[in-house]
Amino acid sequence: MVEKTCAACDCKLDEGSIKVKIGGKTVEVCCDECAQKLKEASSSSKRG
């Protein structure tokens, strides 16, 4: 079985992972804090 890791912090994901849509791709994160970090990073990269 392939272990999945959080897209933000590389922690191992369990059945409680959160799916977030970023730039048309769905990624999985371990918690709401990581989900928010990815959303903020994605929106700031589009401004520049």
pLDDT at 4 over 90: yes
Residue 24 main-chain phi, psi, to 5 deg: 85, -5
Question: What average pLDDT does the chain have?
Answer: 91
Residue 3 banded pLDDT, cuts 50, 70, 90: confident
SS3 state at 48: coil
Binned at pLDDT 50, 70 and 90, residue 48 comes out as low
Residue closest to 33 by CA, chosen among 10, 16, 9: 9
> What confidence category does residue 2 fall into, taking pLDDT thresholds of 50, 70 and 90?
confident
Compute the distance between CA of residue 12 and CA of residue 46 in angstroms, rounded to an integer: 28
CA distance 5 to 17: 9
Q: What pTM does this model have?
A: 0.81
pLDDT tens-digit readout, 13-23: 999 999 999 98
Q: How many residues belong to the chain? A: 48
